[in-house]
């Protein structure tokens, strides 16, 4: 059941797809307080209460014990103390012995989530602007609750099947020769690969929708050549458009009036990669259509996937901001130099990027109204994603395109996936990546993953290996790294064969993981969940922070620590462990409910399968298109007839019907081909 409570004058966000009448009276459970524009909701928490959700955010699966701020931020150096990341996902579930409900604040401005931070026994949620819809969702189970919420916000984005392949990316690939080399290094060593990303270096002067003619003399020919080798190119697109006289996109957009304006009606200009830029007003349909149409030359060159970046929007600086900083610095000139004045001097320039004053300098048109950016800040990236997805649907309504964005808001999950933004080659960020996945899934962002290996700083062999072992299971499996960091492609390392073997597991599992993903997406379910969703009565399971449920019957528990050759795993019920080394090399170990110390050498990683559930493996391959998924090895620990509904489709049609694509696989203990220690393995042809 969902109830809507309306506060102030809510602005349209595009997050919700069902209109509900607003309730009269106060929101149950919470104490509401209005203070000037701010509205806050207070609730006391019992020691047992657990809070799940908030999508992309730092810290644990259980969000309790910290303060978060929904404010989309370009923040590469985030640590566990960072209150805001690249996206804002205002959905939170309260789960305790005597309560189960979820709340969604459909608020495009800043929202503060004090979840036991100021007082450990109190949650206070504050909308800074006070114009929003508050949804209260109640169901009998965690999964039911999330499903109801997702019904409210609409079906998740469906990527094409090739997007489940391994993707190699790096900031710096600047020509087709360089990309060809990356492709060849993978193919010649039989490291599976489906796509290579093109970062900003492909553009002329970092200008969107251009590409360097010397480096990419014939993009269509190049993309066709790669497609013959079952590889795809995935270029990046940034939010800003260079404010350069004579640059076609600038002139055209200016004539159409689609850029964000300042109060005096002049264009808002800020510096990002191409230099001075203007920013499409993605909140206007006209601007979305215009921006979306700019993808056309790339689509015509055969591109089927994109990543949208810098769409918080990230701002390096504005002329106004720089002048103000200089003025502040100037005012200190001649004053006695002490630490205080020096800190002030330094401070003048430190906060110049992504500055709140700049976010207050420009406006969006919503209907007839002019709305200051900071009031709707968190919608910008989501509406850029919407512009792109709409354009792809216009260009080819019969095909799914790959699209993942850095910034997002709930609603964008219908149009694209997300990557988790700039992380570092840190063990702590490997754990953070895992812990963000269930929240993202609750909010509908099923297609997601982190920069495997870490974006910033220098990776090590063991860390990349453990990142890849998590990546085997994340729908987006992309190795990405920043300019000037250690080269991070698998083939750069002495242990590349071990890493390749890890990737082969992804390809053996790809049809199964795709099946689990599509079933979750088409039923408003979750691909990754906290253990609490499956074992709400198990007081141990509900607090597990480093294991996740995957699909209907599986659980992952990656190694997240340096030099570890194993880890403790808690099994809430009897399971089968598949300990992988490669697509063809794995152990099957039945384990009973309880605590286990599992040996996991650097080349080993486990997948756990509930009793009387099945996993299907194919023989693998080097690209998603060339996998032979007709012969499946079905594995399970079964003591009765067990059924798996295997989803299989053409991998690109946009509106697949679930029922039409399900194949029922059924095994009886007595009919299996091999049976060792209660584990059934069956080879099936379908
Ligand atoms: O300011 O395009 O998150 O993935 O490699 C950095 C260069 C801009 C940030 C993205 C990252 C990408 C990088 N971009």
Give the pLDDT score at 668: 86
Among protein residues, the one with the nearest Cα to ligand 1's atom 5 is 171
Per-residue pLDDT averaged across 299-325, rounded? 97
**Ligand 1 pocket by Cβ (under 6 Å):** 171, 199-200, 236, 309-310, 406, 421-422, 455, 480
pLDDT for 195 beyond 80: yes
Query: Which tens digit of pLDDT belongs to each residue from 357-413?
Result: 999 999 999 999 999 999 999 999 999 999 999 999 999 999 999 999 999 999 999
SS3 33: strand
* Cis peptide upstream of residue 527 (ω within 30 degrees of 0): no
Long-range pairs for 535-543 at CB < 8 Å and ≥24 separation? Answer: 535/572, 535/573, 536/95, 536/141, 536/142, 538/572, 540/570, 540/572, 541/570, 541/572, 542/50, 542/95, 543/50, 543/62
Rounded distance from Cα 309 to ligand 1 centre (Å): 7
DSSP 518: H
How far from 361 is each of 86, 290, 349, 358, 637, CA to CA, in Å? 21, 23, 18, 5, 61
Query: Which tens digit of pLDDT belongs to each residue from 98-150?
Result: 999 999 999 999 999 999 999 999 999 999 999 999 999 999 999 999 999 99
| Comma-separated ranges of CATH 2.60.40.1760 domains in the chain | 2-153
Rounded distance from Cα 535 to ligand 1 centre (Å): 39
Give the pLDDT score at 332: 84
Query: Which tens digit of pLDDT belongs to each residue from 430-479?
Result: 999 999 999 999 999 999 999 999 999 999 999 999 999 999 999 999 99
Report the residue among 381, 422, 479 best suited for mutation to probe ligand 1: largest number of ligand atoms under 8 A from its CB.
422
Query: Which tens digit of pLDDT belongs to each residue from 616-675?
Result: 999 999 999 999 888 889 999 998 999 999 999 999 999 999 999 999 998 888 766 665
Q: What angle do CA 393, 395, 398 make, to 5 degrees?
A: 60
Per-residue pLDDT averaged across 595-611, rounded? 98
Phi, psi of 179 (to 5 degrees): -70, -40
Query: Which tens digit of pLDDT belongs to each residue from 240-286?
Result: 999 999 999 999 999 999 999 999 999 999 999 999 999 999 999 99
CB atoms within 10 A of CB 365: 17
The domain at 2-153 falls in which architecture?
A: Sandwich (2.60)
Taking the model in full, what pTM does it have?
Answer: 0.97
Give the pLDDT score at 341: 85
Give the pLDDT score at 371: 98
Query: Which tens digit of pLDDT belongs to each residue from 81-90?
Result: 999 999 999 9
Report the residue among 167, 273, 309 best suited for mutation to probe ligand 1: largest number of ligand atoms under 8 A from its CB.
309
Give the pLDDT score at 340: 86
Which of residues 351 and 422 earns the better pLDDT score? Answer: 422
Domain topology for 513-685: Immunoglobulin-like (2.60.40)
Confidence of residue 203 (pLDDT cuts 50, 70, 90): very high
Among protein residues, the one with the nearest Cα to ligand 1's atom 12 is 171
pLDDT for 171 beyond 80: yes
Structure tokens at 281: 């007003």
Give the number of the atom of ligand 1 that is nearest the alpha carbon of residue 76.
3
| Comma-separated ranges of CATH 2.60.40.4040 domains in the chain | 513-685
């Amino acid at each position: 059941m969902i109830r809507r409570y309306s506060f102030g004058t809510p602005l349209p966000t595009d997050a919700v797809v069902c209109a509900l009448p607003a309730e009269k009276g106060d929101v149950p459970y919470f104490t509401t307080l209005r203070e000037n524009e701010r509205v806050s909701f207070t609730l006391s928490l019992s020691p047992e209460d657990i809070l799940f959700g908030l999508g992309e955010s730092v810290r644990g699966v259980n969000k309790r014990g910290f303060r978060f701020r929904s404010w989309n931020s370009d923040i590469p150096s985030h640590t566990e103390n960072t209150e805001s990341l690249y996206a804002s996902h205002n959905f939170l579930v309260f789960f305790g012995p005597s309560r189960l409900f979820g709340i969604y604040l459909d608020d495009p401005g800043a929202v503060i989530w004090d979840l036991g931070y100021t007082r450990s026994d109190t949650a206070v949620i504050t909308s800074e602007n006070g114009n929003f819809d508050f949804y209260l969702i109640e169901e009998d189970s965690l999964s039911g609750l999330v499903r109801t919420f997702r019904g409210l916000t609409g079906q998740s984005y469906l990527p094409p099947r090739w997007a489940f392949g391994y993707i190699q990316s790096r900031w710096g690939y600047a020509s087709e020769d360089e990309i060809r080399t990356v492709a060849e290094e993978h193919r010649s060593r039989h490291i599976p690969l489906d796509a290579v990303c093109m970062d900003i270096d492909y553009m002329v002067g970092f200008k969107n929708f251009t590409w360097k003619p010397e480096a990419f003399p014939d993009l269509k020919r190049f993309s066709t050549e790669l497609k013959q080798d079952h590889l795809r190119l995935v270029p990046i697109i940034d939010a800003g458009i260079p404010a350069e006289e004579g640059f076609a996109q600038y002139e055209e957009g200016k004539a159409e009036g689609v850029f964000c304006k300042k109060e005096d009606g002049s264009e808002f200009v800020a510096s990002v990669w191409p230099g001075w830029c203007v920013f499409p007003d993605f909140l206007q349909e006209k601007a979305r259509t215009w921006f979306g149409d700019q993808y056309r030359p790339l689509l015509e060159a055969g591109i089927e996937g994109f990543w949208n970046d810098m769409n918080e929007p990230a701002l390096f600086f504005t002329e106004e901001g720089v002048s103000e900083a200089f003025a502040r610095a100037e005012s200190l000139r001649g004053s006695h130099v002490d630490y205080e004045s020096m800190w002030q001097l330094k401070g003048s320039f430190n906060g110049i990027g992504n500055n709140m004053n700049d976010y207050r300098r420009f406006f969006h048109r919503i209907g007839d109204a002019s709305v200051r950016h900071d009031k709707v800040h968190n919608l910008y990236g989501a509406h850029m994603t919407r512009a792109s997805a709409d354009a792809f649907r216009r260009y080819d309504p019969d095909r799914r395109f790959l699209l993942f964005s850095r910034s997002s808001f709930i609603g964008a999950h219908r149009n694209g996936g997300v990557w988790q933004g700039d992380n570092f080659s840190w063990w702590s960020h490997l754990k953070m990546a895992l812990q963000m996945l269930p929240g993202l899934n609750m909010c509908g962002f099923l297609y997601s993953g982190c920069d495997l290996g870490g974006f910033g700083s220098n990776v090590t062999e063991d860390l990349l290996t453990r990142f890849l072992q998590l990546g085997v299971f994340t729908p987006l499996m992309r190795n990405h790294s920043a300019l000037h960091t250690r080269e991070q492609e698998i083939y750069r390392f002495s242990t590349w064969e071990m890493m390749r073997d890890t990737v082969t597991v992804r390809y053996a599992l790809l049809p199964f993981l795709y099946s689990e993903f599509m079933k979750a997406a088409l039923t408003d379910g979750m691909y990754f969940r906290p253990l609490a969703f499956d074992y709400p009565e198990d007081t141990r399971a509900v607090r597990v922070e480093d294991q996740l449920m995957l699909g209907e019957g599986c659980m992952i528990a990656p190694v997240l620590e340096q030099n570890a050759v194993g880890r403790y795993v808690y099994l809430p019920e009897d399971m089968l462990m598949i300990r992988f080394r490669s697509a063809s090399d794995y152990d099957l170990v039945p384990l009973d409910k309880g605590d286990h110390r599992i040996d996991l050498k650097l080349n080993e990683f486990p997948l756990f399968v509930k009793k009387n559930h099945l996993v299907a493996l194919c023989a693998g391959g080097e690209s998603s298109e060339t996998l032979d998924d007709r012969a499946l090895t079905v594995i399970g620990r079964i003591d009765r007839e067990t059924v798996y509904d295997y989803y299989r489709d053409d991998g690109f049609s946009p509106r697949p019907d679930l029922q039409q694509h399900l194949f029922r696989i059924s095994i009886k203990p007595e009919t299996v081909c091999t049976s060792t220690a209660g584990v059934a393995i069956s080879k099936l042809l379908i």
